[in-house]
Amino acid sequence: MLADPQAFQIRAADATDLEQVIALDERVTGTAKEPYWNELYTRYQTRRPKERFFFVAEEEKDDNSESIVGFIIGEVRAWEFGSTPCGWVFAISVDPATRLTGIGTALFDVISESFKKVGVHTIRTMISHKNHELLSFFRSEGLTAGPYLQLEKELN
Amino acid sequence: MKLQTASRLAIYAVLELAGNPDRQLSAAEISDKYDISTHHLAKVLHTLGRAGLVRSVRGASGGYTFSGNAKRTTLLDIISLFEPVDAMQMDGMEPGEHTSEGLALRSVLTEIDEITQATLNSITVSTLLKQAASKTAVAQE
């Protein structure tokens, strides 16, 4: 189902959005992490801003006020793990009440275009294999298993 | 990973029916396209019907329709109707698994199983239809 194009708009995040972004993230993940978000926003504004993207989806409510119903964050990373430059998406979230209305796809489309404009033609992310909903979302956007395997070890 | 024939037939049937939401298709129409046994497909459709994924319509112009949610039904949902996907947990202890070597081997195989399950559970009918359409476009170029 496609969302009503008038129902929401995608734009670059600004400082006034942070409070709602933090609240949405806490609602979805169950963890409040205000210092993380403040540090991330500052980093995105001040360092390599042309290769870092932070977009929000904003919905107009019945009383004409606006609320943030989704966000996506990503950046160009080069030569990590021997990889040529690629666009990493490391956060995406949509308000559970507005899912399956096209907001996630619209956010993904905007960040994909932004990566293309700076010369990047591969988009990459990492998802817990227990997060079926998010895995399904990225699959539906055309992402498939990439050439890397993520490995880790518990340090005792 | 090799799928059992019933699982493969079920996926084809679901894709065909979900991809033609305005039509009722007979088992023969589907089996013709994929060059598979109509008899075997009919059995598979029966199982899919009991799982609520397809509905059969009787009568001269009858056939089958998809009755699931294409954006929510995954390959794992379909395959697990016909074969165990979580083989490591289904089979219990395998020979030698009381040893440290057996346990080490089991943990590697469990890793593979978990990735397989996560992959199958992330591909919806709708995503696979989209992927098939893009392959058709490439084939026609």
Reported as a single tens digit per residue, the pLDDT across A104-122 is 999 999 999 999 999 999 9
Chain B interface includes A142 (CB < 8 A) = yes
Chain-chain contact of A135 with B122 (C-beta, under 8 angstroms): yes
**pLDDT at residue number A4:** 55
Residue A60 is assigned to a structural domain of this protein: yes
Among residues A78, A113, A66, A71, which one has the least CA distance to residue A93?
A71
**pLDDT at residue number B88:** 58
Alpha-carbon Rg for chain B, nearest whole angstrom, is: 18
- Supply the range of the domain harboring residue A80: 12-140
Residue A155 is assigned to a structural domain of this protein: no
Mutation for testing the A interface, residue in B72, B77, B122 having most A CBs under 10 Å = B122
What pLDDT band is residue B90 in, cutting at 50, 70 and 90? low
- Supply the range of the domain harboring residue B135: 5-140
**How many structural domains is chain B composed of?**
1
DSSP H or E segment with residue A105: helix A103-117
**pLDDT at residue number A6:** 55
**How many structural domains is chain A composed of?**
1
**pLDDT at residue number B89:** 60
Residue B66 has pLDDT above 70, yes or no: yes
Residue A146 is assigned to a structural domain of this protein: no
Strand segments (E) across chain A: 8-12, 52-60, 66-77, 86-94, 123-125
The CATH number of residue B57's host domain is: 1.10.10.10
CA distance B14 to B68: 9
Chain-chain contact of B118 with A129 (C-beta, under 8 angstroms): yes
Q: Among the residues of chain B, which ranges form H helices?
A: 5-19, 27-34, 38-50, 75-79, 87-90, 100-122, 125-140
Report yes or no: B85 and B117 within 8 Å, Cβ to Cβ.
yes
Chain-chain contact of A129 with B130 (C-beta, under 8 angstroms): no
Q: B134 or A65, which is more confident?
A: B134
Mutation for testing the B interface, residue in A139, A143, A144 having most B CBs under 10 Å = A139
Nearest C-alpha in B relative to A137: B122
Six token digits for residue A137: 């979302």
Give the pLDDT of chain A (156 residues) as one tens digit per residue.
444 555 899 999 999 999 999 999 999 999 989 999 999 999 888 888 899 999 999 998 777 778 999 999 999 999 988 889 999 999 999 999 888 889 999 999 999 999 999 999 999 999 998 899 999 999 999 999 998 988 999 998
User: Per-residue pLDDT averaged across B89-116, rounded?
Assistant: 87
CA distance A77 to A124: 10
Would you call A132 helix, strand, or coil by DSSP?
Answer: helix
Chain B interface includes A130 (CB < 8 A) = yes
**ipTM of the predicted assembly exceeds 0.85:** no
Residue A81 is assigned to a structural domain of this protein: yes
